[in-house]
Amino acid sequence: MEIAQPRDLERYLSLAKRRHRELCRQKRIFNARNRIIGGDTDTWDAQVHDQKIKEATEKARHETFAAEMRQNDKITCILEGRERRDRKSLCKAINDFQQTFQKPETRREFDLSDPLALRKDLPARQSDNDIRNTVSGMQKFMGEDLNFHERKKFQEEQNREWSLQQQRERESARAHQRCAEDLYFKTRLQFDETAKHLQNLESATRKAVCAAVKEFNRNQATESVERKTREKKQEQEDDLAEISNLLRGDLLSENPQQAASSFGPHRVVPDRWKGMTREQLEQIRLVQKQQIQEKLRLREEEWRRDRDWDRQRVQRARSTLLVERQQKRQQRDLRRALDCANLSLAKEQRSQ
């Protein structure tokens, strides 16, 4: 018998307290007068009151923040308006000072940004032979001289003369082309008459050639018919001879002797083999029956061996199960005895 330790007593007391709390909770929950859908109304009321106080505090804090933000916005607007007015007055004072004491004409570099500098300066080119018109100045290009209008008028006159000359040359070329076309037509008529004459001669020659070819084809057809007749007669004779040879030969007569090999009686010629004999077939069937009986015997032995193994496995599992049950029964008895001893000790300590 085991002795109860203080740690076991503490565990037992904690279990007892938990059971007591659970019983109180069950009485409170299963009481139909104080229960509303399984809830605690007192706790709910306290939570609702705390929530309202929290919401009121939060609302007051937000209102305070909003008042401070409105006050800060007003102050910011006043300061921005004052800064805008100060900036505007400062800009106006700077503009007045610049217009009074800092005019563009008084600057040292005014000649670089003078808007009337181009009007005051000399023109870029006064003549085509101006010494200022250097190559790097790029003031004079091909076709941009001062005599442009006179040169353009001269070029127009020259173009008109060239156009008139081209028209005269074109008319002369047209006249030469008409003469050449007339000559071409005359030559073409002569060629047509010559071609007609040659065509007539060719048609007469073609007729003569066609008649000769027709006669030759007729002779060839007659010879072809006679040759086919002779070939057909020869083919029939060859077929009859081949059929008679096959009927009298060993191929269709199924003679097994023709498959015998010259290398030994146990070998055959594959392309002449006519199949196995009756004795060979009976020998093969006998060997197959022996193999089937041997396979059945091996299968029966394997079945018996598996059955023995299954029986041993079941016996071993049954013995293991009995041992486990006996161990559980012994553990249950030991636990029951230990619980009884602990209860008796607890009662004695409680009475003391």
158 versus 352: the higher-pLDDT residue is 158
pLDDT tens-place string over residues 15-34: 888 888 888 888 777 766 66
Q: Is 312 domain-assigned?
A: yes
pLDDT at 38 exceeding the cut of 60: no
Q: Which pLDDT does position 188 carry in this prediction?
A: 86
Q: Is residue 325 part of a domain?
A: yes
Range of the domain at 344: 276-349
pLDDT at position 39 over 60: no
Give CA angle at 301 (297, 306), nearest 5°: 150
User: What does DSSP assign to residue 267?
Assistant: E
Q: What is the mean pLDDT of the segment spanning 324-337?
A: 88
Residue with tokens 């173009």: 159
Average pLDDT of the residues in 200-215: 88
The reply to whether 335 falls in a domain is: yes
Residue 259 lies in a domain: no
* Within a domain: 244: no
What is the secondary structure of 18-75 as a DSSP string? Answer: HHHHHHHHHHHHS-TTT-BTTB-HHHHHHHHHHHHHHHHHHHHHHHHHHHHHHHHHHH
| pLDDT band at 7; cut points 50, 70, 90 | confident
- 338 is a domain residue: yes
In a domain, 336, yes or no: yes
Reported as a single tens digit per residue, the pLDDT across 134-148 is 666 666 666 666 777
pTM exceeding 0.75: no
In this structure, is residue 283 part of a structural domain? yes
Number of independent structural domains in the chain: 1
> Pick from 340, 348, 343: which is nearest to 16 by CA?
343
pLDDT, average across residues 247-260: 66
- Mean confidence (pLDDT) of the chain: 82
Tens-digit pLDDT profile for residues 55-72:
988 888 889 888 889 899
pLDDT in tens, 94-153: 988 888 887 877 777 777 777 887 777 776 666 667 677 766 666 666 666 677 778 888
153-174 pLDDT per residue, tens: 888 999 999 999 999 899 999 9
pLDDT at 1: 44
Supply 48's token pair: 């609702």
| 301: confidence class by pLDDT, cuts 50, 70, 90 | very high
Burial class (CB in 10 A: 0-12, 13-18, 19+), 133: middle
Most confident of 20-29, 177-186, 266-275: 177-186
> Which uninterrupted H or E stretch holds 302?
helix 278-351
